[in-house]
Structure 1
Amino acid sequence: MKKIGLFLFVLLLISCHSNVKNEDIKKLNGYWEIKQVKFSTGKTKEYKINETIDYFELKDNQGFRQKVMPQFDGKFRTNGIKEGIKVVVKDNAFFIEYNTKFGNWKEEIITIQDSTLVLKNKENLEYTYKKFKPFSFK
């Protein structure tokens, strides 16, 4: 019985350890397109086409996020609104803290790779993004 308890404790410690590393944070820079949202109920909503994408720009773990609209000529349109962001570490987890004149909130970075980003908010909604690829008619 003690072995089972010890095994479960070790498994819990491993599962609580973030797979995000400090050096991964720079991968956040760039254009990200929402792919799916996973609800706390386990249901998911898939996104096939997006009119807007998120542009992240960080330097020394501070910067901004901006909604942009890709154009067919490869350029982007925006309304000029930038949300201030800061990446912070708390209890071995990485969070993006957002700061706007309308409010403050944070999302946990669950996964960040070259082409995949997963963020989770306080309502346990998981947002999965993929790196945006510009339109190509070739």
Structure 2
Amino acid sequence: MKKLLFLIVLSTVLSCKQKITDTDISNLNGYWEIEKVELPDGEKKEYKVNETIDFFKVEQNKGFRKKVVPQLDGTYLTNDVQEDVVVVLKEGEAKLQYKTTYASWEEEIIELTKDKLVVKNQQEIAYYYKRPMKFSIK
């Protein structure tokens, strides 16, 4: 009985992770707003308001990520600082490999849909993103 329960729990945990395909990667493009961060110990930090938003542009598994600042007129303020990104797909898993002049690091894509992005870094910190709501004050 314990073995059966263990197998059920194990399959549930393993099935929570999405198999990422080339087709899914196109969903990465565009603007993403951080919704919450989950630490390895289970602690969560919710983000109600974001001063910056991430913008991804990826074609043929190469591209960049930039931090942009939403403006009251609905536009985004940006600068020339960006992180180069390479998407590595292997056996249903996808990793984002980032590189700047000063550092390089990697994140695993846990879930990627049109409206949701979840990535986990090498420190086992999970970042949950959503598409930002469009707004404008004119």
**TM-score normalised by the chain length of structure 2:** 0.86
Q: How many angstroms apart in 1 are the aligned matches of 2:82 and 2:129? A: 19
SS of residue matched to 2:45: strand
Deviation digits for residues 22-47 of structure 1, max 9, x if unmatched? 21110000000000000000010000
SS of residue matched to 1:27: helix
Q: Aligned residues: percent identity? A: 43
Q: CA RMSD in A?
A: 2.5
- CA deviation after TM superposition for structure 1 residue 82, in Å: 1.0
Matches within 5 A, 1:38-117: 38-117=38-117
CA change 1:69–1:16 in 2 (3 A) is closer
- CA deviation after TM superposition for structure 1 residue 4, in Å: 4.0
The 8 Å contact of residues 85 and 96 in structure 2, kept in 1 or not, is answered as yes
1:122 maps to which residue? 122
The 8 Å contact of residues 108 and 121 in structure 2, kept in 1 or not, is answered as yes
Q: How many angstroms apart in 2 are the aligned matches of 1:14 and 1:129? A: 21
CA change 1:69–1:13 in 2 (3 A) is closer
Q: How many angstroms apart in 1 are the aligned matches of 2:12 and 2:31? A: 34
SS of residue matched to 2:84: strand
Greater shift after overlay, 58-67 or 85-94? 85-94
Q: How many angstroms apart in 2 are the aligned matches of 1:123 and 1:114? A: 26
1:135 partner amino acid: F
**Structure 1: tracts of 5 or more residues without a match:** none
Q: Count residues in correspondence.
A: 137
Deviation digits for residues 73-104 of structure 1, max 9, x if unmatched? 12111231011001102343101110111111
2:68 partner amino acid: V
